[in-house]
Structure 1
């Protein structure tokens, strides 16, 4: 089971990982190794698939693998061009002696997902044929990811004589995915009376994160082995009739919070380093969002590669300054304090003639945030450190963030994390080692852009707000549906209006890891200019 860490577009690098895993597996006595879906290109390659040079490089790397593979069998995922068509394929490579690999069969994915984050019908032609291979005299059925979520491909493969199903996958993570995925696999194994080996990617790729957690399931539906979440892993299972036997113990099952935290950490590491940055920098305000972001960044990149910057203003409390300094010390990260008062005053001096006769409003609040953005981007440019934004999903939903201010940055770590989960993840991280001052977690949230300001002055209670956002954004619930759940109609109308009118902001926000079943990215494509929601405002 070759749960390896592939990088989209790094075809040569992915090929080297395939060869290294093959050799390790062969040395351990394995007869066959199964890799994830689109192993050589990574997933999802998107419009790279439209390039002829990508396909040429894939074929060149495939030739290198054949010429250097050990004496064993392998199942490798890759895009295959046949005439004018492109297929999402898996090929069976076999070598009776080292360096003598040959392709013996190929399978084309039949069920192409085209919902949520998936766009496979844009690129691929669906396959229409069962594929049974016979390594070591056993009839092995091949499937790719979505195929196992539908009855026809699996049933047809078993009907054709498959004794075991091997499934290559690129299954992105969200908070409800793990139990759902394992339930489907166990049900299919039992219904088909056929063991299943399922291998998934484990990596961060833009806003998607792939959790690995590859599994081997016997024909009775019992789980024989589960690979660790968000890690590279090579594991060996043996096939004996309808039963599978693992040669190593399964990874410990993670709690939801542990799973999410580990996924966020991996996403930051992969995104920052793959984009050529040498570390990260963020504004540490003394509030809970930036505190959690700092913890994740340091865990992902190493404390020595993370810089925290406190940027106080006249409304910043002594408590916030003290808490930020304490966390930076606890985490042993580089810490700087840069007052934004002089730059704010300089901006206001230049703007005063145009603002004469107007009242103070959110303009001055936003200018504070934009001053901070200038500081962070300057540090980023000078030190090759990516700016991590700190806004959470609740804030992104209702526009409680400043465009070109606190939204300014390269990666939005908490973009799909509701506010209440921010609290839960912060408490979880402190159980692994105390790094977030307790007062940061317990004090009322505040942007501190005005005297004595707290979030509850302008937003509903976060527990209620998060539930309304989940219903409207993730479940497509209507105004009437949400009111029927027990919420005040005027409050719901206001929340819906805020979500709708801030689509333009979210389109300009940094990419961030998708954690919930529907984030503000590929899987929610609402028009920016839309009159659809006006009846609800």
Structure 2
């Protein structure tokens, strides 16, 4: 199974532009043989908490239907990020599309204190199954909490999908934490980070994949959009540049 972390530069608050870019990235990931492509936290809007309430949507929103068509076409799990309308407020969510299945939504359960004025935590645990693997979603801050990884491992997860929007400091913390949980729980860890402006900081890229022994197998730089790819079966790892049509 080939896993790809999509390191992108979202356009703040612009669904249609970001959806178009996601579609191009998915086609490129498919050309590299991806079975899964993971996008960063709030990838469809950019990480903009102050805009999130206005931008929040239902996971079933029809503007996302093309992701399902691409999932069916390529036999690929596609995981994108968006603010969604929850029962008690706006949630930070990962919406996943799988071939022949209904889309699913996982919402961030452990919020950073800075997020509490804008978001409410999700309450539902979730794992995904793709190509005989069990995968656990994790969204940014919660992916640095040891208890979250422990719950994922207890659920049988073999792959930990960390969708993030991290600054340089956050990326440094991730680079020390993820190898430890990968080794401890024998889970491959995929981190998809964004680049460029995000709220009042700059996202620091560095999207990476660690194998189940805790070894870093591939990583992107801090500024360029890229696809970070790892084949679990063969151990092959690569980083590809993202190219958009003019």
For normalisation by structure 1, the TM-score amounts to 0.41
Alignment match, 1:130: 125
Q: Structure 1: how far apart are the matches of 2:197 and 2:239?
A: 25
Matches within 5 A, 1:275-290: none
Matches within 5 A, 1:462-501: none
Match of 2:206 among 200, 213, 217: 213
Alignment match, 2:104: 105
- Cα distance per residue 1:187-227 (max 9 Å; x no partner): 22122222211110111235411111011111222111111
Q: Structure 2: how far apart are the matches of 1:214 and 1:27?
A: 20
CA contact (8 A) 2:95 2:105 kept: yes
Alignment match, 1:47: 50
Change in CA separation of 1:55 and 1:129 when aligned onto 2, cut-off 3 Å: closer
Change in CA separation of 1:25 and 1:250 when aligned onto 2, cut-off 3 Å: closer
What is the DSSP-based 3-state SS (H/G/I as helix, E as strand, rest coil) of the residue aligned with 1:245? coil
Change in CA separation of 1:206 and 1:140 when aligned onto 2, cut-off 3 Å: closer
* Number of equivalences: 234
Alignment match, 1:196: 189
Q: Structure 2: how far apart are the matches of 1:30 and 1:236?
A: 8
Higher strand share: 2
Match of 2:176 among 178, 183, 186: 183
Q: Structure 2: how far apart are the matches of 1:112 and 1:200?
A: 17
Match of 1:230 among 223, 227, 239: 223
- Cα distance per residue 1:479-537 (max 9 Å; x no partner): xxxxxxxxxxxxxxxxxxxxxxxxxxxxxxxxxxxxxxxxxxxxxxxxxxxxxxxxxxx
Higher helix share: 1
Alignment match, 1:245: 235
CA contact (8 A) 1:173 1:208 kept: no
Match of 2:164 among 147, 166, 169: 169
Change in CA separation of 1:206 and 1:50 when aligned onto 2, cut-off 3 Å: closer
- Cα distance per residue 1:61-115 (max 9 Å; x no partner): 323433555422201111121344322111210235xxxxx5432211111001x
Alignment match, 1:26: 30
Change in CA separation of 1:178 and 1:34 when aligned onto 2, cut-off 3 Å: closer
Change in CA separation of 1:158 and 1:237 when aligned onto 2, cut-off 3 Å: same
Q: Structure 2: how far apart are the matches of 1:40 and 1:26?
A: 19
CA contact (8 A) 1:37 1:144 kept: yes
Cα drift, residue 9 of structure 1: 0.2
Alignment match, 1:335: none
- Segments of structure 2 that go 5 or more residues without pairing to the other structure are 242-246
Q: Structure 2: how far apart are the matches of 1:56 and 1:122?
A: 18
Say which structure, 1 or 2, has more relative contact order (CA 8 Å, 6+ apart): 2
Q: Structure 2: how far apart are the matches of 1:139 and 1:200?
A: 22
Q: Structure 2: how far apart are the matches of 1:130 and 1:77?
A: 17
- Cα distance per residue 1:139-176 (max 9 Å; x no partner): 111111111211111101110110111110011224xx
Matches within 5 A, 1:417-496: none
Q: Structure 2: how far apart are the matches of 1:106 and 1:161?
A: 19
Change in CA separation of 1:189 and 1:250 when aligned onto 2, cut-off 3 Å: farther
Q: Structure 1: how far apart are the matches of 2:67 and 2:18?
A: 11
- Cα distance per residue 1:373-396 (max 9 Å; x no partner): xxxxxxxxxxxxxxxxxxxxxxxx
Q: Structure 1: how far apart are the matches of 2:14 and 2:235?
A: 34
CA contact (8 A) 2:90 2:118 kept: yes
For normalisation by structure 2, the TM-score amounts to 0.86
CA contact (8 A) 1:225 1:250 kept: no
- Segments of structure 1 that go 5 or more residues without pairing to the other structure are 97-101, 252-537
